[in-house]
Amino acid sequence: MTAPQIELRGVEVHFPGGVQALRGVDLSVLRGEFVAIVGLSGAGKSTLLRTVNRLVEPTAGSVWFEGEDLTAAAPARLLEVRAQIGMIFQTFNLVRRSSVLRNVLAGRVGRMPTWRALLGWFPRRDLEIVHGALRKLDIQDKAFVRADVLSGGQQQRVGIARALAQEPKVILADEPVASLDPPTSHMVMRDLRRINQEGITVLINLHFIDLAREYAQRVVGLRDGQVVYDGPAGEVDDATFEQIYGRALKADDFRGADAEG
Amino acid sequence: MGIGASPRVVWEGLPSFYKLMGDLFPPNWTVLPALVQPAVQTLQMALVGTTQGALLSVPLILLASRNVTRQAWLYYGARGILNLLRTVPELLYAAILVAAVGIGPFAGILALTVFSVAIIAKLTSESLEAIDPGPMEALEAAGANRLKMVRYAVVPQVLPAYLSYTLFVFEINVRVSFVLGLVGAGGIGQLLLTALNLFRYQSATVIILVTLAAVITIDAISVRVRQAIV
């Protein structure tokens, strides 16, 4: 039995103002898994994802990465670990006025000394990694284009390229396709699947049931800050989802067909 | 009552006003060549003052922005300094500085620097606080420390506003620089002061016209450049 790459032990998150976002979550993720975290809005999916890289601090419990207690890590060590974990966001979080290249270069910043980063003095190897990431997402011809003139799907690809530029071991994806149309959503999901097949662990928040079933190997269901389901994607059916959601399924729980099939 | 304003006072003052107008015209164009060097000096004062102010304002801008500076005492301290700088009128700076460092452009430049810092820092920090926090979150997730976050998520978003405000302050500073000359801080303003004191009104007219032309030209250029930046 291999040791898990990511482990949450009894993680609780209590926000000031009284909201209990996570109640005692236990989760183990092995290297190379593709795990979809599903649940209604407000179930705690975003909070859960952000405890993995401590963007949100657990108020109780611990988070472990490759056998190391992240919650007890020193600030400098935390930055080093974060550099190994890529993250993509529903709203892409790109610098809109900057070019695609500049945005993806920002992904390398965590791995270089501050003085080099401030001067913008990237080593040649970093530029090669960045170009490799651009090519992998098929956006190399858009390298000098301003980010905000691109379509939503292309912007998310820039986001993924930025995460890949970190040469990460894990990618955290927070509802990456929620703002995209069905065919584009499938395109991005296929990109993530390809990346996962090359060995990068993917932890993705999704509220589209069909996407979770189609692309993930394992589904973790969250309700009211607690894990209520954890099993292989193949065994998940509509009834499972209704159990996770605590309500009957609706049409907008499904992303819809992929134009390319 | 109060300030002693009344239409009658204006009416009775009209003849003196007409006489003054007569004294101002025709303009004495012969002084034109002598104005070049002081006009250039006024422009230089504005340029140096604005540039120094723009550079010095950078740390204040970062400290006075809530989304960059998390420690409350640093933030309120920086904001407090900014407010203090802005309440003191630039003429007062100039007068104090002239007394401190003597008559001439050096006092003027110091006054303009302080004034520029105050305005550029206040306006830019407000723009900064309105930027999209998304890229900052992305950089934080990628393992960037605060400085790297500022360089890669904040600066690219706020740079156009910063440059635009700097140019705007330069426009203002050309006028202020002229006025500072009136309290002895050098440049063409000081020349105007001299001309008025010597009752050389027709020369004064030329000085005013030249200043007007310079200000209008600089404004026009600056507006174009600012549009191109944003």
Q: Domains of chain A by range and CATH?
A: 1-84+210-249 (3.40.50.300)
Print the domain residue range for B123: 31-229
pLDDT tens digits, one per residue of B113-133: 888 998 999 999 999 999 999
Measure the CA–CA gap between A18 and B43, rounded to whole angstroms. Answer: 59
Query: Is residue B22 included in any domain, yes or no?
Result: no
Does the beta-carbon distance from B141 to A82 stay under 8 Å? yes
Query: Is residue B19 included in any domain, yes or no?
Result: no
pLDDT tens digits, one per residue of A173-191: 999 999 999 999 999 999 9
pLDDT tens digits, one per residue of A106-156: 999 999 999 999 999 999 999 999 999 999 999 999 999 999 999 999 999
Does the beta-carbon distance from B139 to A106 stay under 8 Å? yes
User: Which residues neighbour B69 within 8 Å (Cβ) at sequence distance 6 or greater?
Assistant: B62, B63, B75, B78
Does the beta-carbon distance from B147 to A118 stay under 8 Å? yes
- Check residue A261 and give its pLDDT: 44
Global ipTM: 0.92
Share of chain A above pLDDT 70, in %: 98
Instruction: Tell me the pLDDT band of B103, cut-offs 50, 70 and 90.
Output: low
Measure the CA–CA gap between B155 and B158, rounded to whole angstroms. Answer: 5
Tokens of A135: 């090519």
Query: Is residue B2 included in any domain, yes or no?
Result: no
B167, B158 in Cβ contact below 8 A? no
Nearest to A97 among B147, B151, B157 (CB): B157
Tokens of B34: 């002598």
Strands A68-69 and A85-89: unpaired
Mean pLDDT of chain A: 93
**Which amino acid, B209?**
L
Tokens of A102: 């500049």
Which of B139, B149, B150, B162 is most worth mutating to test chain A (most A CB atoms within 10 A of its CB)?
Answer: B139
Q: Is A259 exposed, middle or buried (0-12, 13-18, 19+ CB in 10 A)?
A: exposed
pLDDT higher than threshold 70 for residue B227? yes
Measure the CA–CA gap between B124 and B163, rounded to whole angstroms. Answer: 9
Q: What is the pTM of this model?
A: 0.85
Query: Is residue B5 included in any domain, yes or no?
Result: no
Query: Is residue B221 included in any domain, yes or no?
Result: yes
Cis peptide before B26 (omega within 30 of 0): yes
Between the ranges A45-59, A242-256, B66-80, B100-114, where is the mean pLDDT highest? A45-59
Tell me the shortest Cα–Cα distance from B92 to chain A, in angstroms: 39
pLDDT higher than threshold 60 for residue A260? no
Q: What is the CATH number of the domain that holds B81?
A: 1.10.3720.10
- Partners of A81 on chain B (C-beta within 8 Å) are 143
B115, B57 in Cβ contact below 8 A? no
Query: Is residue B208 included in any domain, yes or no?
Result: yes
Instruction: Tell me the pLDDT band of B87, cut-offs 50, 70 and 90.
Output: confident
Question: Angle CA(A50)–CA(A53)–CA(A55) in degrees, nearest 5?
Answer: 55
- Check residue B98 and give its pLDDT: 66
- Check residue A1 and give its pLDDT: 59
Share of chain B above pLDDT 70, in %: 94
- Check residue A259 and give its pLDDT: 57
Query: Is residue B17 included in any domain, yes or no?
Result: no
Query: Is residue B130 included in any domain, yes or no?
Result: yes
What total number of domains does chain B contain?
1
